[in-house]
Amino acid sequence: MNNLIFTKLESSRLILRHFRDTDLPNFIAYRNDPEVARYQSWTSVNERDARLFINEMKVAQPGVPGEWFQFAIEHKSSGQLIGDCAMQVKPEDGRQAEMGYTLSRAYHRQGYGYEAISTLLDYSFQTLNLHRIFAIADCRNQASIGLLEKLGLRREAHFIQNFWFKGEWANEYLYAILQTEWQAKQADRQAIPR
């Protein structure tokens, strides 16, 4: 684990930061949207649990093995919370982590997910010096699958009815990318003339 204290990450349109008390209304709104929650482990959040979550994330630090850290995704121009992305460094292997993400429906299909997760991957591989990042997606979640593939993650596994999820057996894909693969992808992107 890196001993640097996390403050924030910036991309062209977004800031990834700790949660704030002022994020509560937007957090509750998108976490209670059935379409946003469709492929998530949760279905809704009440105000009490949302406050507890925000208070926990305000003081947490990313990269602690075994603990999930949720980055608040702020839209730079409005200053509003538009979603969150998460990572958990695996307790059994401090060089690997799982990631996840959630965006308010108003910000779907506009490149915000790609921008946020690219920023998270840069941080994970450069600052935390992780070796491998993976994500698990429901096989029906075409938007998430498309995002992971656009980011350059490789499908490594297809799990059949491996997870009892919201009243039915779900199938899942596991996607992953290595630090060296992400670095090569970034070098290729920078070498392309604009």
pLDDT tens digits for 145-162? 999 999 999 999 999 999
Q: What is the mean pLDDT of the chain?
A: 95
Res 194: pLDDT: 56
- Whether residue 37 has pLDDT greater than 60: yes
Res 187: pLDDT: 84
Q: Which CATH class is domain 8-136?
A: alpha beta
> What are 85-90's contacts with CB under 8 Å, separation 24+?
85/16, 85/116, 85/117, 85/120, 87/62, 87/63, 87/120, 87/124, 87/133, 89/1, 89/63, 89/64, 89/65, 89/128, 89/130, 90/65, 90/66
Could you tell me which residue, 27 or 1, shows the higher pLDDT?
27
**CA distance to 29, 59, 145, 168, 188, per residue, from 149 (Å):** 28, 32, 6, 26, 16
Res 2: pLDDT: 52
Domain positions in the chain: 8-136
Q: Is 150 helix (H, G, I), strand (E, B) or coil?
A: helix
Minimum mean pLDDT range among 17-21, 80-84, 116-120, 166-170: 166-170
- Whether residue 192 has pLDDT greater than 80: no
